[in-house]
Chain A
């Protein structure tokens, strides 16, 4: 196949490396080191994994050292002062008036390009060989659309590649460590799974409730999925643990609940937890940074009422639909 998911990661690595060099030239060493380590992990990650598959764990251990370094440096990242002058604002407004709706074109190439490449994926094959890696088709489609959009944006705004890197650096500086938090949390989730944290929580919950009461079991199941999602930041991690600990043995086994309804509603209960937790960084903390909110929990503050309403509705649905 022509487009492999590794190339997407290498492209990310190159962008990160360019931003790291830019920071180092501005003598911002902590920032240079932070983005540099990340660039190395993106550029060398696949090589590290293939060496580990051959029995040599050293490169992956070095990546582990890099992860610890990222955690230690993160606290030292300070945002570069941005001169937001009225002059600059007027320049942007004038440029907006000149370019008009054309400005939407590159922005819309990202979503619609992703859509087109995703839908075309089954047909993009030469000599029976798929051109897009099937397992990661959406990711590759997004990357292709982003590259197209970046070319369109440079052409439209008559910008130089240098400007594109400078603008990326500006946004990356505003996002700071928040953009890496989703990766770190995914890693933490995997470590919790590998060390049996989930089983321990399910075990303790099941031991603490009166199993003969259907209401207690429903509340323990829903509450467990919710709390565990809040801790892990990911309903996909919480669902199997609580389902194995409480759902299967008690709700389906003992109280004869409807498995399909419990599965869907249990997962959606977890999603209510995702709306409530800073651990779901890519949905809650990254957008707060992207939208330049002073309160990193601003998005959670805006969505907790939605989450609680839906939680209550889900509980009612579980009670009446899963146990007819």
Chain B
């Protein structure tokens, strides 16, 4: 077995550790790994080109940008924030836990493309979460704002990842089933998907508890403020 292509992994680790531009690091790692596996330069270029072309589906979120950009110019984020600020019952934790539940259930039904960082988190969830946090503490600083936005993105990821494995027609379940089938173990997709349920429930509980704790921390921060100079 040829162990030299493993140096490509080392390039990735070193590049990220040295804080070089990630795009450059990734391209360099691909070149190193391909060269050490004994590919000629023309074959290496064709491999990079072909695999990059094959992954074009990952950039289709680009098509949401004209809509999001126009709506932001017309005040979408300001409106989402003002709306949440007016609704007294919509607390920070309720907003995020509600979004998590919807996202997880939609993913379980296979509707993963319905929400996402470009479609829902940037224009809606993040400004709403910030507005909900402002209701608790009107003077949150930029660090706290960024933590809140990042937590909104983390909630979207958690809902997506730990919902989709329950949907039997989703890629992950079919990948597992297909892998076993190739190795002579024939399984019903449903028997695999059912084992994803306990982790899905755990994910909902863990992320919800974290949202509640974040809300409690925001409240504690507001109470402390009058004492600090």
B103 to chain A, nearest CB (A): 11
B69 touches A171 (CB 8 A): yes
B6 to chain A, nearest CB (A): 5
- Check: A254 CB closer than 8 A to any chain B CB: no
- Check: A42 CB closer than 8 A to any chain B CB: yes
Known: A164-B69, A195-B37, A196-B2. A236 touches B50 (CB 8 A): no
A288 touches B153 (CB 8 A): yes
B16, B63, B153: which contacts A146 (Cβ < 8 A)? B63
On chain A, the residues within 8 Å of B20 by CB distance are 75
B117 touches A290 (CB 8 A): yes
B119 touches A93 (CB 8 A): no
- Check: A124 CB closer than 8 A to any chain B CB: no
B2, B183, B196: which contacts A248 (Cβ < 8 A)? B183
- Check: A8 CB closer than 8 A to any chain B CB: yes
A41 touches B161 (CB 8 A): no
Q: Is the interface of A mostly helix, strand, loop or mixed?
A: helix
**How far is B158's CA from A281's CA once the two chains are assembled, in angstroms?**
15
A114 touches B63 (CB 8 A): no
List CB contacts (< 8 Å) of A257-308 with chain B: 259-261, 263-268, 271, 274-275, 278-279, 281-288, 290-291, 293-295, 298-299, 301-303, 305-306
B191 touches A63 (CB 8 A): no
On chain A, the residues within 8 Å of B21 by CB distance are 71, 74-75, 177
- Check: B49 CB closer than 8 A to any chain A CB: yes
Known: A156-B74, A288-B153, A298-B146. A265 touches B24 (CB 8 A): no
A146 touches B67 (CB 8 A): yes
A93 touches B78 (CB 8 A): yes
Known: A45-B56, A183-B56, A240-B179. A71 touches B24 (CB 8 A): yes
A106 touches B206 (CB 8 A): no
A253 to chain B, nearest CB (A): 10
On chain A, the residues within 8 Å of B88 by CB distance are none
A63, A166, A180, A317: which contacts B199 (Cβ < 8 A)? A317
- Check: B14 CB closer than 8 A to any chain A CB: no
Question: Beta-carbon contacts of B202-217 to A below 8 Å, as 1s and 0s?
Answer: 1100110010000000
B39, B73, B83: which contacts A167 (Cβ < 8 A)? B73
A315 to chain B, nearest CB (A): 11
- Check: A209 CB closer than 8 A to any chain B CB: no
- Check: B29 CB closer than 8 A to any chain A CB: yes
**How far is B148's CA from A298's CA once the two chains are assembled, in angstroms?**
10
On chain A, the residues within 8 Å of B73 by CB distance are 92, 95, 157, 159, 163, 167
A57 touches B29 (CB 8 A): no
B70 touches A196 (CB 8 A): no
- Check: A33 CB closer than 8 A to any chain B CB: no
**How far is B199's CA from A261's CA once the two chains are assembled, in angstroms?**
11
Chain B minimum-CB-distance residue to A49? B53
B60 touches A93 (CB 8 A): no
A302 touches B153 (CB 8 A): yes
A238 to chain B, nearest CB (A): 11
A107, A143, A200: which contacts B71 (Cβ < 8 A)? A107
Known: A138-B113, A182-B55. A15 touches B203 (CB 8 A): no
List CB contacts (< 8 Å) of B158-184 with chain A: 158, 161-162, 165, 171-173, 175-177, 179-180, 183
A108 to chain B, nearest CB (A): 9
Binding site for B on A (CB under 8 A): 5, 8-9, 11-12, 15-16, 38, 41-42, 45, 48-49, 52, 57, 59-68, 70-72, 74-75, 89, 92-97, 99-101, 103-104, 106-107, 109-112, 114-115, 118, 136, 138-139, 141-143, 146-147, 149-150, 152-154, 156-157, 159, 163-168, 170-172, 177, 179-188, 190-192, 194-197, 199-201, 203-204, 231, 235-236, 239-240, 243-244, 248, 252, 259-261, 263-268, 271, 274-275, 278-279, 281-288, 290-291, 293-295, 298-299, 301-303, 305-306, 309-310, 313-314, 317, 321
Known: A181-B26, A188-B29. 12 other contacts (CB 8 A): A8-B63, A63-B49, A106-B70, A146-B63, A150-B70, A159-B74, A163-B70, A187-B30, A267-B175, A275-B154, A275-B158, A298-B146
A-B contact pairs, 19 of them (CB 8 A): A42-B59, A59-B49, A63-B48, A67-B48, A70-B27, A101-B83, A115-B111, A118-B111, A153-B71, A180-B59, A184-B30, A195-B8, A195-B34, A196-B2, A259-B187, A271-B161, A275-B158, A306-B207, A313-B206
Q: Which 3 A-B pairs have the closest CB atoms?
A: A167-B69, A96-B75, A63-B49
